[in-house]
Each structure stands twice: as structure tokens, then as C-alpha cells.
Amino acid sequence: MSVDDKDQECCPKFDPAPWDGKIFAWDRKKFVKDRVRTFFFMPLNFGAVMRRLVPKVAAAGAMSPEAMCLSEHTSKWNMDVYLAVTGDVPGAANAALSGRFLIKIYEGDFKQTGAWCKDFEAFAAGKGLAVKKWYMWYTTCPKCARKYGKNYVAVVGEVEGQAQP
């Protein structure tokens, strides 16, 4: 690996402060959707899917500055990914999400996901909210997580109920 490769930014550095513990109201927030094959929930072709989606999004001028990519594990064999965009993308499966979404940021190894999800559920319940649907936002790829020294993962839950302060 050359110095240039080491310094190349693949994923933007993630700042958890604007997201952690916050509730967002999305009204048809735009995404492009694709499917990733998994083996017992471990992604197999995530990189290939991103290499297919990102050029379409860039060509449409629809790159989102937040670089949000939500993963919805639909079974242990596949997951749907939702890449945030600023507008419709020709040649891609355009999608939109609406509702209230609670986000909590965690840091560490992916094997902690089960514990994070239990904590998130308790966190939501403590705010008087019930989780209707779960998404994971892996904020950086493993290479960039090593580069930045932090592996932030956001649990994103579509929630219902009256939030308590």
C-alpha cells in the first residue's frame, strides 16, 4: 500500500454528535435501494453493491452529504440497503422512508451488535417509544474504521409512541 492509498478517503469521517440519541421525522426521505447477499447475517457482496450504486448516484448528482446507508437484515441470507440520496436516480430502485426515527450511536466491533440492539430497545423504551422497524447504519467500511481509529455504528429505529424527555 502506498502512502497515497493509506491517505485516500473512502468513507467520510463520521461525527456522532448530530445523530446520537436524537429523533428525526422523515417525510419521504429519499434513498436508493438494493439487496446484499449475506451468510448468517454477514454481508458477502456489500462492496460490489456499493460499487454498482454509487456511480449511478454520482452521475445523477444525488450524493447525500451525510453518506447514510441503512441496512435492513431481512433474513440471515440477505439484507436490503438504503443509500440516502438528494433526488431520484435513473436506473436505480428509488425508495422513500417516512416516520419518526430514533438513532443511537455505538462504537466497537460488529460482534457487539446483539448487545447494542438490546441496549437500543431499552433506550427507546426509556423514552416511552416502541421500535417498529430496525436498521443498522455502518458509518464506515472496516478499512476506514481502522484508519480513523473508531468503528461507529448507528442503530436506527422507526419508532412509535410519545417520546419522554
Residue 21 three-state SS: coil
Cα–Cα distance for residue pair 36/13, rounded to 1 Å: 24
Which amino acid, 133? K
Cα–Cα distance for residue pair 138/130, rounded to 1 Å: 22
| CATH number of residue 99's parent domain | 3.20.80.10
25 in a domain, yes or no? yes
pLDDT confidence of residue 8: 55
125 in a domain, yes or no? yes
Over the stretch 86-138, which tens digit does the pLDDT of each residue have? 999 999 999 999 999 999 999 998 889 889 999 999 999 999 999 999 999 99
38 in a domain, yes or no? yes
Cα–Cα distance for residue pair 154/68, rounded to 1 Å: 10
pLDDT for 2 beyond 60: no
Instruction: Read off the pLDDT band of 165 (50, 70, 90).
Output: low
pLDDT confidence of residue 4: 42
DSSP state of 67: -
- Give the alpha-carbon dihedral of 135, 136, 139, 144, to 10 degrees: -150
Residue 71 three-state SS: strand
Residue 58 three-state SS: helix
10 in a domain, yes or no? no
Let me know if 124 is exposed, middle or buried by CB neighbors in 10 A (0-12, 13-18, 19+). buried
pLDDT for 42 beyond 60: yes
2 in a domain, yes or no? no
pLDDT for 157 beyond 70: yes
Residue 22 three-state SS: strand
Give the chain's domain count: 1
Structural domain span for residue 141: 15-160
pLDDT > 70: percent of the chain: 94
